Amino acid sequence: MATTAEFRTCPDTGLVFHKPAETLMKLNAVAGIVFLLVGGVLGLMLGLTRWPAVHLLPADWFYLLLTAHGLGVLVFWIIFFEIAVLYFTSSTLLKCRLATPRWAWLGFILMLIGSITTNVAIFQGGSSVMMTSYVPMSAEPHFYLGLILFAVGALIGCFVFLGTLVIARAERTYGEGSLPLVTFGALTACIIAIFTIASGAIVLIPTLLWKIGYISYMDPLVYRVIWWAFGHSSQQINVAAHIAVWYAIAGVVFGAKPLSEKVSRMAFLLYILFLQLASAHHILVDPGISSEWKIFNTSYAMYLAVMASMIHGLTVPGAIEAAQRHKGFNKGLFEWLRKAPWGNPSFSGMFLSLIIFGFLGGISGVVMGTEQINLIIHNTLYVPGHFHATVVGGTTLAFMALTYWLIPVLFRREVMFPGLAKWQPYLFGIGMSGFSLFMMGAGTLGIPRRHWDISFSGALFSHDFPATAQLLLGVMGISTILAVIGGAAFIIVAVGSVFFGKRKDPAVKFSMPLIAPSVTVDHARIGFAGVAVPGTLVLALVFLTAFVLYYFVNWKYLSSVWGLS
């Protein structure tokens, strides 16, 4: 049994922190933010290289930094932060001691050693193989070894989370009821993570053995199928985790409760059931795979994972709208939204994350994951355009939003530069939206991804991309700068507050409480025309219209290209 001396009650929120868990949350969050910083600097240099007028880096450095950028932010930043989220949603929200803090430490150390090892391999120069390291191209052995160590560490973190849930249940630390919705969402992320990490081990361990000569042949197609069970599913961890964060911020800022527990939890379950073989999306134009397999695995017959995201896209703002209407902002369609705390970066970051993830990342992802439409999108700049909208505009922005709240609650510091913090989500959100959108536009016009020079210097032949595509790459470069300024503002505020911020004095109350009292809404008494959350419904229908139109525009575009059969 843990003693009460090992716990700290937050005087502002009443949340109970288990001290060993708190230390690990801080360490994982800080390690993540360091990788975000590195990834952001690299991102700036890459963005400036793909801006044809600037074309900053030489080819070898471009590919080297692109490899480091992909792994640094898409894997290391996000998974370190996710481990912090797992410990928070289990230990803190359930008021429970963290299971086996020593194992959690081991996991953290392995992740740290692994991520540094892989980065060393990349910066030594012999492992510029991109994040995907498609065989038969090969990296240095310690490139794979680092990733494997990192994965083992993350897996330990997942089991510490599950162990904590078991202890909390056995000791009834959170009463007799079910898990809080946010913890339930984190559990979804954890289950997907275990599948993901297992896939990563299944593909990377043989690749390492192949590299050092114990295995003679790696089939490149089998590699792609299994690698993407790791590569794509790791992005599904992000989706589940950042949606849990959306719900958490709705709870923290508004005291919101889900419209109904049943629907929100079902939607999380759909992720586990229908996202797993998402690798199909990456091999829609590969040889030797049947259309039946592609169609089934990209849709699971009815796109239930897309439905899950559409549900969250309704229920998260719906829960906020209900709480706001209950508080008296009940006029018209959008008073609840107009009177929302847009100056609170936790809220504005979360809401922008929701919009960017849905409108830019979500729609583009489903469209390009359609078997035939993928023919006109595969491996163009459209693809990174899509996933910067999901992983950066969606996940990273949501995690930034949560960090603003964690600074006083977890780190017990006041947020430094509150004026900068207030604007940061807008800078970053608008910068990333432009970046994603212009990349998708350039990709639609054929610009390839992972390509150092679209003027093909030194090549035997030449090719001119449309002037519009060149222009789009220019505005993409400008958006890169805007997004990087937004990212830098976040790092300045977060690192500044955590290491140099004024200690939070519980006697000093912020203008906004750090945790809103929870509200129980009588849905019959809010909204109008028999609809409790009419504003959210209108937003959802706008989304649906955009989705349907864009989907069919792409079919129309596909129908104009060469016949293929």
How many angstroms separate the CA atoms of 435 and 8, rounded? 42
- Residue closer to other proteins by CB (options 183, 424) is 183
* Contact window for other proteins (CB under 8 A) among 39-47, 258-266, 401-409, 410-418: 258-266
Contact map string, positions 158 to 197, toward other proteins, x by CB under 8 A: ----------------xxxxxxxxx---------------
Region at 18 (left for phi over 0; alpha for psi -120 to 50; beta for the rest): beta
Altogether, the residues listed in the chain come to a count of: 565
Is residue 230 a contact partner of residue 199, using CB atoms and an 8 Å limit?
Answer: yes
CB of 359 to other proteins, least distance (A): 16
CB of 408 to other proteins, least distance (A): 16
Decide: is 528 part of the binding site for other proteins (CB under 8 A).
no
Interface positions, 355-374, toward other proteins (CB under 8 A): 366, 370-372, 374
**506 upstream amide cis, omega within 30 of 0:** no
Decide: is 551 part of the binding site for other proteins (CB under 8 A).
yes
Decide: is 519 part of the binding site for other proteins (CB under 8 A).
yes
> What is the 3-class SS of 394-421, one letter each residue?
HHHHHHHHHHHHHHHHCCCECCCCHHHH
- Residue closer to other proteins by CB (options 202, 222) is 222
Decide: is 145 part of the binding site for other proteins (CB under 8 A).
no
Interface positions, 56-85, toward other proteins (CB under 8 A): 59-60, 63
- Say how many C-beta atoms besides its own lie within 10 A of residue 458's C-beta: 7
- Residue closer to other proteins by CB (options 223, 428) is 223
Decide: is 52 part of the binding site for other proteins (CB under 8 A).
no
Q: Which of 147, 454, 484, 493 binds other proteins (CB under 8 A)?
A: 454
Decide: is 523 part of the binding site for other proteins (CB under 8 A).
yes
Q: Which of 169, 212, 215, 261 binds other proteins (CB under 8 A)?
A: 261
- Residue closer to other proteins by CB (options 92, 348) is 92
User: CA 243 → CA 53, 328, 349, 487, distances in Å?
Assistant: 38, 26, 13, 21
Decide: is 260 part of the binding site for other proteins (CB under 8 A).
yes
Region at 561 (left for phi over 0; alpha for psi -120 to 50; beta for the rest): beta
Is residue 140 a contact partner of residue 127, using CB atoms and an 8 Å limit?
Answer: yes
- Residue closer to other proteins by CB (options 73, 363) is 363
Interface positions, 481-510, toward other proteins (CB under 8 A): none
Decide: is 213 part of the binding site for other proteins (CB under 8 A).
no
How many angstroms separate the CA atoms of 518 and 121, rounded? 49
Provide the token pair at 68.
């480091």
Interface positions, 420-449, toward other proteins (CB under 8 A): 444-446, 448-449
Q: State the DSSP string of 137-173.
A: S---HHHHHHHHHHHHHHHHHHHHHHHHHHHHHHTTT
How many angstroms separate the CA atoms of 243 and 359, rounded? 15
Interface positions, 325-354, toward other proteins (CB under 8 A): none
Decide: is 536 part of the binding site for other proteins (CB under 8 A).
yes
Provide the token pair at 58.
């030489």
Among candidates 534, 565, 476, which has minimal Cα distance to 53? 476
CB of 142 to other proteins, least distance (A): 20
Q: Which of 319, 340, 483, 484 binds other proteins (CB under 8 A)?
A: 319
Is residue 273 a contact partner of residue 304, using CB atoms and an 8 Å limit?
Answer: yes
In 98-225, where do the E strands start and end? Answer: none
Contact map string, positions 265 to 294, toward other proteins, x by CB under 8 A: ------------------x-xxxxxxx---
Axis crossing angle, helix 78-87 with helix 141-170, rounded to the nearest 10: 10
Decide: is 258 part of the binding site for other proteins (CB under 8 A).
yes
